Amino acid sequence: MTKPTWSKAVTQIGREFDRTPLEIVSGSLPEGLRGTLYRNGPGRLERGNRRVGHWFDGDGAILAVQLTETGATAQYRFVQTSGYREEEQTGTLLFGNYGMTAPGAFWNRWTRALKNVANTSVLALNDRLLALWEAGKPHVLDLESLQTLEIENVKIPTYSAHPKRDVHAGEIFNFGCEFGLKSKLHLFVCDETGKIKRSKTHELERVSLIHDFVLAGDYLVFFVPPLDVPLMSILFGLTNFSDGTRWNSSQGTQVLVFDRNLNLVSRSEADPWFQWHFANGYTDESGKIVLDFVKYSDFTTNQRLKEIATGETQIAAEGYLSRVRIEPKSAKVLDTEILFDRSCEFPSVYPDRVGRNARLTYFSMHRQGVDTSRELYGSIGCYDAQTGKLHEADLGDRRYPMEPILAPDASNPKAAWVLTVVYDAEIDRSEVWVFDAQNLESEPVCRLALPEIIPMGFHGTWMRR
């Protein structure tokens, strides 16, 4: 069987390039779209004669697309982590990671630290860009040149890739997990400069995979899925997290509710499910927490993501945008519903609606009628919670968008734009597509040709200039 047409956009090693003017393929840049799109993802999945064990293990590489009055430019740079530099010198993979153990004898696997691949997301601050990887501290990059400068000087041992920015309060909420004999959840709040204002640490009852959380009005909510994690075997290099972890359907998903001062309010246990990403949350008029997330029935999604790194998949592992209501005083899940019946991922809302009731949620999703076990996402969707209607930008056959990023219009508060990086397998090219956020079903208002293929990545952000 031939490999799917998206394969090259994952398995090909990313090629760095300096700031380059971008050709407009169609349309024109909106006048109110001025700023920089930053995207992060694994740009290299092999070195020498060895391939990584999971899509999560690739070296992080940053794409920056600058949009100004004079046009668009882009540049692409690998994050110069210490592990990346060491492997660049030796010409082979040396470290273990989420889906692989370090090569060589047992002693080497036990003593060699995991490589911080800095490949998951980015946080743009006024004076620096943070490349995020949830099992370590962020790498600091220059906003303009993408030069790697240092490791962010924070006391928190790990720094998740999914901070929540409350633009109204001028605060950035985040967390980090620390696993050991007593596993811990570190919660912290930064100001707009990235300086930690307050933090608290809570012990976890179980070792699990906590990738994301949600800010919902006055609360922070975490779901802890029921995974059996062989922590000691992982720590001693006998296995890795991906291969050793098992789904345990006899347990439920834990629900943890904290207040904005980072105090634990309540905890409970619900039916078992798994999730990577939350869309948003808020507190309704009755005081109940309402939150949306992409819900999976189990941990099969991990195997699919492992297969993606090979350039070919056989497992569907569909996730559905779902809504739950929670009683904050008890953390009890009152009800759950699937909002629509199309598999999707990478949900987000308008930046000024984070933690508040948001009418519109955007995401990547599968095209109608495709084989979801073989194909990647081929559409950008928008769910309207007020009307219950699903809007879709179907990119067409053999075109694959990355996570949609929302960019508010600089001059019109009622307008916004959706940006995504698209791999077009028909012409073997990566492009930046811009959609009108309120008219998603129309053709993109602008398409920009990138000088190199950008390997499929995970998360990004928009920084207004």
Q: Are residues 117 and 95 in contact, defined by beta-carbon separation less than 8 angstroms?
A: no
Distance, CA of 439 to CA of 443 (rounded, Å): 9
pLDDT tens, position by position, 252-270: 999 999 999 999 999 999 9
Query: Of 399, 414, 400, 410, nearest to 360 (Cα)?
Result: 414
Exposed / middle / buried, residue 287 (Cβ in 10 Å: 0-12, 13-18, 19+)? exposed
Which H or E run contains 72?
strand 71-78
Report the chain's C-alpha Rg in angstroms: 21
Domains and CATH numbers, the chain: 8-464 (2.130.10)
For residue 331, give both structure tokens. 């953390």
Q: Are residues 131 and 141 in contact, defined by beta-carbon separation less than 8 angstroms?
A: yes
For residue 15, give both structure tokens. 């090629």
Helices (H) and strands (E) in the chain, counts: 6, 35
Instruction: Please enumerate in sequence order all residues whose Cβ is within 8 A of that of 95, keeping only pairs 6 or more positions apart, or say none.
Output: 83, 87, 102, 112, 113, 114, 115
HEC profile of 295-326? EECCCHHHHHHHHHCCCCCCCCCCCEEEEEEE
Distance, CA of 33 to CA of 182 (rounded, Å): 47
pLDDT in single tens digits along all 465 residues of the chain: 688 999 999 999 999 999 999 999 999 999 999 999 999 999 999 999 899 999 999 999 999 999 999 999 999 999 999 999 999 999 999 999 999 998 875 556 555 678 999 999 999 999 999 999 999 999 999 999 999 999 999 999 999 999 999 999 999 999 999 988 789 999 999 999 999 999 999 999 999 999 999 999 999 999 999 999 999 888 888 899 999 999 999 999 999 999 999 999 999 999 999 999 999 999 999 999 999 999 999 999 999 999 999 999 999 999 999 999 999 999 999 999 999 999 999 999 999 999 999 999 999 999 999 999 999 999 999 999 999 999 999 999 999 999 999 999 998 988 999 999 999 999 999 999 999 999 999 999 999 999 999 999 999 999 998
